[in-house]
Structure 1
């Protein structure tokens, strides 16, 4: 019996072994048989051919492109980015993220033949176009990522047919419109990413029916309205981001009652009122709470002290209505590593030692709070980023000497005097230092800044620093030293900073020539701003590198010509050489710089024509064009402004000041443009001016007709063509400039009448037609009528309100509008008469035309008149995110004109000269 059992065991083992080997052979054979199915390989190969693959790294080296390594003689299931089902050989995963694919995703793309795809990732490619409805052909998709692909248009409703989807990422595109209701069909969806698009409408209620959602990110869109009350239906929600939208009203308490919620981003909206959450449990799992930059008012709610798991808290710009704040509520939050209480509008004076018990703090921002900083203060927390801007600090904080973890320090806009202590540069991890807008006079130590430090950013602007110029460490990438009292020549020690990216020395007393040593780092320097000094000589050609993005040399004494080596700066976006003595012809070669957004040649000695016969001057991204107060001559052809796309279309505003400082961004702080608008000279500083689209050719000797192509620039806001020798009539096609807010055609030789069509420009707050040869009545009852009489002065044949000259009286007076319509009818009737017949018909037609022409003169005409209206200046928010709204309000202001006189431009002391600063 035992022998029999032993034999049976051996037999069973043998059978299992044989079965295992047989099964492996079958699987291997099946695998070998089905891998790289011909139809799948063909679809992939065709998909590759649909795109132009091109791209380079920032250092100019070619990128590693996955599809270029695909080989037709190799199993497609082993191609980069491809995964197949080992049993069927069908492609189930396609990951071509960041593969530099260029071209639209077509509705008949071979991609949609890969109908068994489970995962599709085409993120970070340039697939600019509309996402086709045929995406729904991939009905087995579990994960779909199309982030950063430049898609635009609406999100197709067919996405709702992908019922197996669990992950959907459409972030960082240009999708518009509302979220389709069909998205509610995605019942299995857990992760939804729609952030950084232009999606609008109320909060998508369809999301409330998607009960499996754990992550929702719809931040940085254009959503508005109030959040629904029943947010708790998202019972599995862990991550919720609605940052940077236009939601308003109160936050529903149900949101805080979701037990699984860990991260909540609600900053930069318009939520208002006191925050009332109710009886929240101290067992809440919430760890991340961002409510900053809203419109909350009233006391900071004490319930926050119960959220003991918080490690990130942002309450910036909370309006306590200048009440007192009980800062002790934060002492219960022992896990805090990030705390932002900046600009909470409290009259409380806070002792910084209050935060000594928060031992985990790595980020602390108390800007805008009146702080008491004791000389004996000692913070034990390992703070890495500390921002104490605008805190009324009078002495350099000595406790910083012991903050050995500090990497970023901002103590700008305080009242600190004296010298910067030399121990600051011994902090081993310090990289970013902003001590601007104080009253510092120098640096301790004979050598200034100690070379052993590894400073990347140093902002000492707007102090009273004097010579000697500080000795900067070789590691410096961003040096901002504007608005001080440095003098003499620009020190050549700067030339040793081989990593320098941004150099701003504007508004000092530097003299002499620009150093000829900048070629040492010309391949890296992207920003050079030396405006408002006393620099002379020519700009050295060798100081211009191909990385240059922003060059500002305005307000100096530079002479010679504009260096043609700028033609190599293909990244150049901002060029300002105003108020110098440059003697050159118009730099036509600048048209090759396709990224140029701002070109200011104002107040120099440029001369000659700005056009050439048969030559088209195209600036596709230009938004500010100022060549005023030079000696340009010649006639502008009618097509001159064709191809100036940025002024013709609505496109995104691009920040010009370039460098985004590591750790914290600089914003657009150091660009500056002076411009004449509404009769006043305004200095636009920072990002505010980038919303302007302006053309100023005033103060030259340009002749001929105003180019008809000017009417193509539908986004133009300011147009100044005054003080020239333009002739001809004002074209009615200017009515196409529907965003125009300031129009100055004064001091030319224009004739004819003022077109009534200009009255349709409802944003046109100021216009000036004075000192021309215009005639006829000023159109009645339009926006034009709101102007003062000085806007029409010295046109001897012009009449009507607001001028004192009347245009006639009684039955003998007819309006110019009637004459225009009469002329049109004459022309139409003449064509009718001419068409009556051949030979005798011509004679009859002329007679009939004459009779009808005589008859119609007795028929009065009437014309609807659109009343003038102007929006009042809106209430302005203080933060940098509202600069565009501020500028819009600025352009709608009715500024007083009594200070203007007859001058073409006047720089007036506050409030008429507006200095706008975008504060970091």
Structure 2
């Protein structure tokens, strides 16, 4: 029966046999064969040449050795994936000269003979998609100039230096080009005047210099422009906001660009990602960003922008990530009407190391998306339209005490970083509503009051940094319930009492707890038996205050939220005489 088989997909298995069985060559009618990531070793059997009807073959991520000559006889192939075969010798692409029907070739992660790259011979003339990323290439493949059907090229993660050849832009069907992570310094001739078919240009992490020329804006079909991690200078071309533009993602991160952020959007703009972090931009945020109604990811971190907090961006219905880190923003981060924050989809807010000041109202976190997230596993911004190259957004995170750059950020990820500002007053108890929050950093501010008991409800929390504030009271024992909490720092506050002996807290280094003169217990050296504990009545009263605060939030959550919050705050702060008398009478009668 297998003699009639046309489609066979055995990818991602762990077979008991190590080499490719020669019996595969008896499947004469086979048209599709996928053997990716199966742990196969050895040579491709000569019987493979019998598969005269095979159109698609995938052998990637195995450890095949020896000659690939049997594959070169499969003249009907239009798709061939041989990436990461761990071939121990440089492969000669001329071996595939007989594959006249081949449209897609993925040979990434293998070593290629330099002679086959410089050849002008007419190999692979009908090829449409070519992936030679991670092949150790040191020179630009000259044979590409004859491949006039090429649409998508990936030369990323090689060691190519010098200039991009001018003839590359004359390929009439070129739609996606990835030159990522090489050592290019410029272009032969003037900056490229790419074909109108070009939709994706990614050249990040090279050494390109000079201005970003206006000619790049003449291609209204361009969807993705990623020139990040280079040495471009001058200003951002205002023509990127061309009303005919179809740009979805613009990434100019980590260059040496100056001037103001230009008006990037007209009505109907399709832009979803704008990243201009780590430049030298000044002035204010362009209010025209409101025209980018589909914007999801906005990063202007590490510039010199001087402006107030952009509350007006809450009009963007899809904005999920906003990072203003390390600029000169100033003023309050709570609305002037003292209402809730009310960004409908915001999940990541990074505003660390600015000059923000003021206090946060009790209901500040009520309408945050982090209270309920769809765990669909999607990325914030992922464009794989080129098939051979995937673009992903990148963000700087202060996470678990470390500063890191992270890509592949899931939409279920939620983080807040207000560190390094001049924020004061109590931490809003409504923080407890953010049940999906992964990381919270409020360090290096002037927050006062107690650590909110409501943090025990943030059950997904992994990283908590409250260090270098003026927090008082005890460390809530309820934090022991946070089973995912692997990093916590409350250093350099005014905390007192015994450190809760739960695993999450006692497993932290001493540096995470030091700088609190009246804090005692393991892992600090001080013994709690040498300190004078506060009177039992005061302990109960302190705890009662915090519970009352949180209950006010819980009771008021809904139509009467604001009233409940305010009432809770008043009752907790002032402890009116009638409440103290009633409490005392209750205790007396129940002795």
TM-score computed with the length of structure 2 as normaliser: 0.82
Partner of 1:884: none
Q: Is the 8 A contact 2:181 2:205 kept in 1?
A: no
How do residues 65-214 of structure 1 correspond to structure 2 at under 5 angstroms?
none
Does residue 373 of structure 2 align to residue 649 of structure 1? Answer: yes
Tell me, yes or no, if the aligned pair for 1:479 and 1:503 is still in contact at 8 Å.
yes
* 1:599 to partner: Cα distance: 0.2
314, 338, 345: which one pairs with 2:79? 338
State how far apart, in whole Å, the 1-side matches of 2:520 and 2:273 are.
48
Question: Which residue is 2:107 aligned to?
Answer: 366
How many residues get paired?
547
Partner of residue 529 from structure 2, selected from 808, 813, 816: 808
CA distance in 1, matches of 2:586, 2:441: 48
CA offset at residue 265 of structure 1?
3.8
Give the drift of 1:353: 2.3
Is the CA contact (8 Å cut-off) linking 1:647 and 1:693 kept in structure 2?
no
Change in 2 beyond 3 A, CA 1:813/1:489? closer
Q: 1:694 to 1:272 in 2, by over 3 A?
A: farther
User: Residue 548 of structure 1 aligns with which residue?
Assistant: 271
Deviations 1:639-683 (Å, cap 9, x if unpaired)? 21122224533432443435553x5264234x3321211111111
Deviation at 1:259, TM superposition (A): 4.9
Report whether the alignment pairs 1:416 with 2:160: yes
From 390, 399, 415, give the equivalent of 1:677. 399
User: Is the CA contact (8 Å cut-off) linking 2:199 and 2:222 kept in structure 1?
Assistant: yes
1:298 paired residue number? 41
Q: Unpaired runs of 5+ in structure 2?
A: 548-582
Q: Is 1:792–1:803's contact at 8 Å kept on the other side of the alignment?
A: yes
Aligned-partner Cα distance in 1 for 2:134–2:490: 46
Q: Distance in 2 between matches of 1:818 and 1:779?
A: 19
DSSP-derived class of the 2:397 partner: strand
2:224 corresponds to: 502
Cα offset for 1:508? 3.4
**Of the candidates 100, 119, 123, which is equivalent to residue 379 of structure 1?**
123
Match of residue 514 from structure 2:
793
> Which residue number corresponds to residue 639 of structure 1?
363
Distance 1:275 1:712, change over 3 A: farther
Could you tell me how far apart the structure 1 residues matched to 2:543 and 2:339 are? Answer: 36
Bigger Rg over Cα: 1
Displacement, 1:590?
Answer: 1.3
Write out per-residue CA displacement over residues 866-905 of structure 1, whole angstroms, 9 at most, x where no aligned residue: xxxxxxxxxxxxxxxxxxxxxxxxxxxxxxxxxxxxxxxx
How many angstroms does 1:769 deviate by? 0.3
Matching of residues 444-483 of structure 1 within 5 Å: 444=188, 446=189, 448=190, 469-483=191-205
Cα contact 2:180–2:205 (8 A) shared by 1: no
1:28 corresponds to: none
Change (3 A) 1:304 1:821: farther
Describe the shift of the 1:632–1:521 C-alpha distance in structure 2 as closer, same or farther (beyond 3 A). same
Q: Which residue in 1 is equivalent to 2:149? A: 405
Structure 1 partner of 2:58: 314
State the distance in 2 between where 1:770 and 1:270 align: 50
**Residue by residue, what CA displacement relative to the aligned partner does 1:336-363 show, whole Å, maximum 9, x if unpaired?**
2211010122324322222223332222
CA distance in 2, matches of 1:802, 1:817: 28
Pair 554,647 (structure 1): closer, same or farther in 2 beyond 3 Å: farther
Displacement of 1:603: 1.2
Q: Aligned partners of 1:749 and 1:607: how far apart in 2?
A: 21
Report if the CA contact (8 A) 1:760-1:782 is conserved. Answer: no
Deviation at 1:420, TM superposition (A): 3.7
Question: Are 2:370 and 1:629 aligned?
Answer: no
Q: What is the SS of the residue equivalent to 2:449?
A: coil
Deviates most, 298-307 or 348-357: 298-307
1:727 maps onto 2:470 in alignment: no
**Conservation of the 8 A alpha-carbon contact between 1:668 and 1:687:** no
- Partner of 1:703: helix, strand, or coil? strand
CA RMSD of aligned residues (A): 3.4
Cα 1:814–1:606 shift into 2, 3 Å? closer
Give the drift of 1:753: 0.8
Tell me, yes or no, if structure 1 residue 593 matches structure 2 residue 334.
Answer: no
Residue 767 (structure 1) shift: 0.9
Within-5 A mapping of 1:165-314: 258-267=2-11, 269=12, 271=14, 274=18, 279=23, 282-292=26-36, 294-299=37-42, 302=45, 304-314=48-58
Please list, as runs of the form range in 1=range in 2, the aligned pairs for 1:427-442 lying within 5 A after superposition: 427-442=171-186
Sort the Cα spacing of 1:287 and 1:521 in 2 relative to 1 into closer, same or farther, 3 A: same
More displaced stretch, 358-367 vs 325-334: 325-334
Distance 1:486 1:440 in 2: 6
Deviation string, structure 1 residues 758-817 (Cα, Å, up to 9, x no partner):
12222222111011111100011421001111111111110001111100079x989999
Return the alpha-carbon distance in structure 2 between the equivalents of residues 344 and 816 of structure 1: 70
Q: 1:401/1:747 Cα in 2 relative to 1: closer, same or farther (>3 Å)?
A: closer
Moved more, 700-709 or 801-810: 801-810
Q: Unpaired segments of 5 or more residues in structure 1?
A: 1-256, 449-468, 828-841, 851-920
Change (3 A) 1:362 1:284: same
Is the CA contact (8 Å cut-off) linking 2:266 and 2:288 kept in structure 1?
A: yes
Asked if the contact 2:107/2:132 (under 8 Å) is kept, the reply is yes
- Kept in 1: contact 2:332–2:357 (CA 8 A): yes
1:736-775: CA deviation from partner (whole Å, max 9, x where unpaired): 2222221100111111111112122222221110111111
Encode CA deviations 1:258-299: one digit per residue, 9 max, x unaligned.
Answer: 4543223454x454553676845724432112232x352433
Query: 1:710/1:843 Cα in 2 relative to 1: closer, same or farther (>3 Å)?
Result: closer
Instruction: Provide the rounded CA distance (Å) in 2 between the counterparts of 1:735 and 1:494.
Output: 51
1:453-472, Cα deviation, whole Å (9 max, x unpaired): xxxxxxxxxxxxxxxx3344
What's 1:709 paired with?
Answer: 430
Q: Do the aligned partners of residues 431 and 791 (structure 1) sit closer, same or farther apart at CA in structure 2, a change above 3 Å counting? A: closer
CA contact (8 A) 1:735 1:761 kept: yes
Q: Say which SS state the counterpart of residue 808 (structure 1) adopts.
A: helix
